[in-house]
Amino acid sequence: MRWGIAGYGDVVTRRVLPALHALGEEPVALWGRDPHRAARTAERYGIARSGAAPDLLLSGVDAVYVATPVVLHVPVARAVLDAGLPVLIEKPLAGGLGTGGTLDTAGRCAGVAYYRRLAPAVRRLREELGGWTPERVEVRFRRAFEPGPDDPMRWRTDLAVSGGGVLADAGSHRIDLLLHLFGRPDEVAARLGRRFPRGAERQARLVLRWRSGLRAHCLVEWGDGPPVDRIRLSGGGRTVTLDPLDSGHLEGTPGSPLLLPPAPNPHQPLLADFVAAVATGTTPVCPVAEARLVDEVIVAAERSDAAGGRAVRI
């Protein structure tokens, strides 16, 4: 397929474009708000067309990947869908901006890039849950992130552009995994803190509750200290741990410890799945309807924090 790409950031140059080339797909158009930066990136990666014209992505392509700042995800995706084209959108769909529900995907192939659903260790974890119901889940994430004024990632600190701080950025992937494993929770209690000047939080503490009695205690933060990234499930006298999350190192399952590493470029299986969904008329691994649930949790967390941490319904 011929692809249009909206955005020219790190995820595009480091993951999306290499994945497309590896799959034999053809990126033919690159759109960005800065036409000069778009042109430089297009030239570097051999993409024929580039610029900031709104219609650049809507002609001469078979599908579009949207990797803009979050505030543009829904407007760009809507234009693509209105043109009758399939669209794959970077995560989160809209985060705390709450605009994801306005995106009509009826009859269209539209997905969101929650690629960890395809990780072999996550698939094995889902198999374990077929015969076991944990009582508690712990999610921990920490890494350094303090962008300076000239850092191209500075927009992530602006709540109006990013749709949230660490919760929308790193936390969205981990919330999606919880929803993928356990379904829609009933309520969330959250405290968000250590905010950047433009409002995005550096730290988010959440407790998600399900009707089954399961609770997930989540702490995600941008901060100092050793990096942490793990999920631990416990209950019924057993504990299953995936630590680090992207290592594929799984403990607590039969035959463990197991090493089920993900693909070196996790966007390659994601894009392969989407290409297959377009070709066969099936649903991509994370359809927009499921990605909206992550946004609902993020919006509910903001509401809970504004209410002093009181639990709110989702």
Would you say 67 and 15 are in contact if contact means Cβ atoms under 8 Å apart? no
The residues, ordered by sequence, that sit 6+ positions from 289 with a Cβ below 8 Å of its Cβ are 105
Instruction: Indicate the DSSP class of residue 14.
Output: I
CA distance 92 to 69: 10
Instruction: Indicate the DSSP class of residue 7.
Output: -
Q: What is the 3-state secondary structure of 169-180?
A: HHHHHHHHHHHH
* Confidence bin at 256 (pLDDT 50/70/90): confident
The mean pLDDT value for 21-42 works out to 97
Average pLDDT, the chain: 97
Q: Which two tokens stand for residue 202?
A: 């550096």
DSSP-derived secondary structure for 135-185: SEEEEEEEE-----TT-TTGGGGBHHHHSSSHIIIIIHHHHHHHHHHH---
3-state helix, strand and coil shares in percent for the chain, rounded to the nearest 5: 40, 25, 35
Q: For 237-249, how does the pLDDT look when each residue is reduced to its tens digit (9 = 90+)? A: 999 999 999 999 9
Report yes or no on whether pTM surpasses 0.95.
Answer: yes
Q: For 83-141, how does the pLDDT look when each residue is reduced to its tens digit (9 = 90+)? A: 999 999 999 999 999 999 999 999 999 999 999 999 999 999 999 999 899 999 999 99
- Burial status of residue 275 (CB atoms within 10 A of its CB: 0-12, 13-18, 19 or more): buried
* Higher-scoring residue by pLDDT: 217, 54: 217
- The overall longest dimension of the chain from CA atoms, in Å, is 59
The 10 Å Cβ neighbour count of residue 224 is 9
For the sheet with 312-313, list strands across it: 258-259, 249-251, 238-242, 228-235, 136-143, 215-222, 201-209, 187-195, 312-313
